[in-house]
C-alpha cells in the first residue's frame, strides 16, 4: 500500500456512506486515520469521526469497545463458507454475498427455529 492510499480509500468510503446512508453522523476509526481524514469528514461530509485509542501501555490483545463490534461482525460473516475466502471477481458480488449473510443472521435472530429458545441453555425436565 502506498503512503496515503488508505486515507484516499477512506475518503471514498465515507463519501459513499454519506450518499447511501445520510442519517449516519458518527464514524469510529483506527488511529491510522487521524489527521486529514478528520478535517475532510467534518468539513465536507458533516461527519464526526471518533478515533478509538489503544489503552496506554497495552501489550498483546485487548478488547476495545467500538473495534470489537467490527471484529465480531467479521467472525459472524466468516461462518458462511462462501465468505471464508474471497472467491468473487467483482466487488459488487462480494457486497451482495455479505448482505445475504447478514440478512440470514438477522432472520435467525428474529425468527429462531422451532424448538428450544436460543436463550435457554438446557431444556426443563
How many domains does the chain contain in total? 2
Cα–Cα distance between 29 and 119 in angstroms, integer? 33
Query: pLDDT at position 118, please?
Result: 62
Q: Which domain covers residue 97, as residue numbers? A: 57-111
Query: pLDDT at position 121, please?
Result: 66
DSSP string over the chain? --TTHHHHHHHHHHHHHHHH-TT--EEEE-GGG-SHHHHHIIIII--EEEE-PPPTT--S----HHHHHHHHHHHHHHTSHHHHTT--SSHHHHHHHHHHHHHHHHHHHHSPPSSS-TT-SS---
Do 61 and 105 share a domain, yes or no? yes
Residue 35 included in any domain: yes
Q: For the chain, list residues with pLDDT below 50.
A: 1-4
Residue 120 included in any domain: no
Give the chain's end-to-end CA distance (angstroms, integer).
59
Query: pLDDT at position 16, please?
Result: 92
Do 46 and 76 share a domain, yes or no? no
Residue 65 included in any domain: yes
Do 67 and 89 share a domain, yes or no? yes
Residue 122 included in any domain: no
Amino acid at each position: 500500500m502506498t503512503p496515503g492510499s488508505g486515507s484516499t480509500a477512506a475518503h471514498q468510503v465515507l463519501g459513499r456512506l454519506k450518499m447511501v446512508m445520510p442519517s449516519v453522523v458518527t464514524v469510529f476509526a483506527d488511529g491510522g486515520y487521524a489527521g486529514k481524514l478528520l478535517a475532510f469528514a467534518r468539513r465536507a461530509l458533516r461527519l464526526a469521526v471518533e478515533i478509538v485509542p489503544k489503552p496506554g501501555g497495552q501489550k498483546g490483545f485487548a478488547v476495545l469497545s467500538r473495534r470489537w463490534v467490527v471484529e465480531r461482525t467479521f467472525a459472524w460473516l466468516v461462518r458462511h463458507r462462501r465468505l471464508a475466502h474471497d472467491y468473487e471477481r467483482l466487488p459488487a458480488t462480494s457486497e451482495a454475498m455479505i448482505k445475504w449473510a447478514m440478512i440470514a443472521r438477522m432472520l435467525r435472530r428474529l425468527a429462531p427455529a422451532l424448538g428450544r429458545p436460543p436463550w435457554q441453555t438446557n431444556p426443563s425436565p
